[in-house]
Amino acid sequence: MTFKDVVYKNFRYNIKKYLSLFLCNSFTIMVLFMMLDLNYNEEFMQYIKNDVSMMSVVWLAILVVSLFAVFFIIYTQTYFVKSRSKEFGLFITVGMSKWELNKLVLIENILIAIFSLMMGLVSGSIFTRLFFLVTVKVSKFDKISHHFNIKSYVNTSILFLLIFTVVLFILIISMNKLEPTEIMKEGRKGDKIVKYNPVILLLGIIFVITAILIVFYTMADSDQNIIPYLPLSIICALIGLYFIIGQVGSGVLHFLKKNKKIYYNHLLFNNEMHHKFNRNKGIVFSCSILIGVTIFELGIFYTISKISVWSVDRMYPYNISYSQVLGINNVSTKKINNIINESETQIVDNMKLPFLLYNIESLITEEKDLSGGYNNVALISQKELNKCVFNNVVKDFNKDSSLKNVQLEKGEVILANLSYNRELQECSLDTTVSLERSKDTLKFKIKDIIADNIYYLKFPMSNYMIILNDEDYNDIKNTIDKKYIGEFNMLGFKEWRKTGKIVEKLKAEIQNQNSKLPERLKEEYLKYNEHFSLFSNIEIYKNRVECGNFSNFLAVFISFLFFIASSVIIYFKLYTEMEEEKVKYNKLYRIGMREEEFKIIIYNQLKVIFFSPLIFGGIVAYLYLFISFKIMNIPVELYVNCSYIFIAYLLFQIIYYFRVSRKYVNNIIENLSGAYK
C-alpha cells in the first residue's frame, strides 16, 4: 500500500472527524470575518467615531471574538489529533516513520485549513450583510450602507492561518516526543484523579474571596483606577475556581464514605460519579469560565446601558443649551421664542447666564500654568450664577454642589473645572491666581477650588471658569470688548422627550445664522464647532439608547458564541469517550447489571458534566456582578433582571442536555453485550 493509498483510506474512514473539524473552523472564520467586517466598514465607523463608548464596545467585541477564535481552534485541533491518536500509534507500530506520520498530519490539516478558510469567507460574506442589517436595525442607527472591504478578508485569513499553524506545529512537536504506546493512549487520557485535600479546597475559597475583595475595595475608592487590579482579580478567581472544582468530586465522595449505609447502597453510582467528575474536571473548569464570562458580560452590559439611559434625566439641570459669543450662534430672542411656541411640550425654564470670554496669554497660579492649550477663560458673576443656575433651573439638582449659593468678597475668586483636566486637584487654596494680558496683570485670591468637572456648564474654548465678586466682574466687563460678552442659554421643558423637533429647528436656525458670519469668524466657528454646538437631553438620550442596544446586541451575539463553544467542548469530550464507555458497560451488562441501572448512572453523570459548570461559573459571575452593583447603588430591579440571564442559560442548557443525552445513552446501550456474543 502506497502513502497515497494510506491518505485516501484514512480520509474515507475518518470522514466524520474531518467534517467536524472543517465545520468548526469554518464557523470560527465566519464569526471572525463578521466582526472584522463591521470594524472595516468605513460608513459605520464614521458614524460611531465620535462616540468613545461605542468604539470601545466594537474593539472589546473584536478582542473577545479573537480570543474565542484562538480558544476554539486550539480545542478543536487538539481534539481532532487526540481522537486519532490510537490510529497514529498503530501506523507507527506497523512501520510508518514519524516523518511520514507528520507528513500525513500536515497534508490533512493543510487541506482542511484551505477548505475551511474558503468556506468560512464565503459563508461570512453571505451572513455578514444580514448581521450588519440586524445590528443597525436593533441599535436604531440612522441608515448606514454595508460595504465589503478587502482588509476584512486579508486580516481574517492571516489571523486564522497564524493561529492554525502555531497550534498544528505545537501538536506535531508534542506527538513526536511520545512513544507509539503513549500515542495510542493519548486520546483516552483524562484529567488526573486527585485525593481529597481540604487545605486545597480552603485555598480555592480564599482565592475566590480575595478576587471579589480586590474588586470591592478598588471600586469603593473613587480615586482608585480599577483597571490595573482587574488582571490580578481574574487570576485569583481562576486559580480559586480550579482548586474548588478539582476538590469537589473527591470531597463529596470523602463525606459519603463517612455514612456507610448511603455509600455502600450506591457504591457503583458514587464511584462512577467521582471518577467521571475528576476525569472531566478540566472540561468543567473550561465551561465554567465560558458560562461565567457569558453571565457577567450580559449582566454588566445590560445594567450599564439601562443606568446610562436612566441617568440622562438626572445628569443635566436643563434640556437644551447653547452659548452665544463673538457673534457666533447669535439667534434673535424673537426667533427662539417662535420656535419654542411651536413645541409639543410646555417650557418651564428659559434662563440666560451672562459670561465673559476673557482672552489671556495664560492662566497662572503661584504653583503652575493652567491655560491648558486655550487662551480664554470664562468669567462669571456670583450673583448671576446663583440666580440663573441654582434659584431656578437646577433647584434640587446637585444639592451638595460647591456652586450653590456662592458668596465672594472683592478680590476673591473660585476656580472651577470645565473639562476632565485634573490640574486643579494639585492647586492649593489661599494662593493667588493671575490673569495675564498684554498691558497688565489681574491678581485674585483663590477662596475655593472645584476640581470636579462641571460638565453641565459648557463655555466655548475654555477649560476653566472663574467665579468673581459682582464688583470685580462688572469692572472687567466695562473694560472688555463687547464681542467677548456672551450668554449661556438654558431651556427646560416639562417633557423633554418630546423636544426632538425643537432641537432640529433650533439647530437649523443656528446653522443658518452662522452661515452669514464673516470669513474670519466662520473659520473660528468651524475650528471650534464642537464648543459652539447646541446641547440637548434628547440627543444624549437617543445616543445612549443606540449605544445600549448596540452593546447588548453584541453581548448576546458573543454569549451565543460562548454557549456554542461550551456545548462543543462537552460534545467532543463525550464523543471521544464513547467507545471506552461502550466497552465498560458491556462488561457490566455481562455480569448482570440491568439496562435501567445503566441509564440512571449515565444520565446522572451527564447532569453533572452539563450543569455543574453553570453552578460554578454562575456563582463567581454573580459575586462579581452583585458586588459591583452594591458599590454603584444599582436599583434592586436590575438585580432581579440580571437573574433572568441565569434562568435563560439554564433553559438552553436543559434543551441541549436532553438532545445530547438521549442520543449518547442510546449509542452506548443499543448493542449491549454485542461485542461479546
Tell me the β-bridge partners of 491: 320, 350
**In the predicted model, what is the mean pLDDT of residues 98-117?**
80
Look at residues 141, 121, 251, 239 and name the one whose alpha carbon lies nearest to residue 195.
251
Contact criterion met (CB below 8 Å) for 128 and 33 = yes
Residue 393 has pLDDT above 60, yes or no: no
Delimit the domains of the chain by residue range.
1-189, 316-536
Residue 158 has pLDDT above 70, yes or no: yes
Q: How confident is the model at residue 411 (pLDDT cuts 50, 70, 90)?
A: confident
Q: How confident is the model at residue 371 (pLDDT cuts 50, 70, 90)?
A: very low
Q: What is the mean pLDDT of the chain?
A: 75
Query: Maximum Cα–Cα distance for the chain, whole Å?
Result: 111
Q: How confident is the model at residue 676 (pLDDT cuts 50, 70, 90)?
A: very low
**In the predicted model, what is the mean pLDDT of residues 621-626?**
84
The x, y and z cell numbers of residue 644, run together, are: 433572568
Least confidently predicted of 398-402, 418-422, 545-549? 398-402
pLDDT for 369: 46
Residue with more model confidence, 113 or 580: 113
The residue to which cell 497534508 is assigned = 107
pLDDT for 128: 83
Report DSSP letters for 497-540, one per residue: GG-HHHHHHHHHHHHHHHTTS-HHHHHHHHHTHHHHSPEEHHHH
Q: How confident is the model at residue 278 (pLDDT cuts 50, 70, 90)?
A: low
Separation between Cα atoms, residue 504 and residue 364, nearest integer Å: 40
pLDDT for 394: 44
**In the predicted model, what is the mean pLDDT of residues 387-397?**
50
Strand 485-493 with 535-536, pairing: unpaired
pLDDT for 528: 72
Tell me the β-bridge partners of 355: 486
Consecutive H or E run containing 354: strand 347-359
pLDDT per residue over 534-560, tens digit each? 888 888 888 788 878 888 888 888 888
Q: How confident is the model at residue 582 (pLDDT cuts 50, 70, 90)?
A: confident
**Residue-wise over 57-92: b if at least 16 C-beta within 10 A, else e?**
bbebbbebbeebbbbbbbbbbebbbbbbbbebbebb
Least confidently predicted of 1-15, 58-72, 596-610? 1-15
CA 394, 396, 397, 402 dihedral sign is positive
Residue 150 has pLDDT above 70, yes or no: yes
Residue with more model confidence, 97 or 160: 160
State which of 274-283, 416-425, 454-463 shows the largest mean pLDDT.
Answer: 454-463
Separation between Cα atoms, residue 479 and residue 438, nearest integer Å: 14
- Please give the model's pTM, rounded to 2 decimal places: 0.71
pLDDT for 225: 62
Separation between Cα atoms, residue 78 and residue 572, nearest integer Å: 11
pLDDT for 623: 85
pLDDT for 362: 47
pLDDT per residue over 218-234, tens digit each? 776 656 666 677 778 88
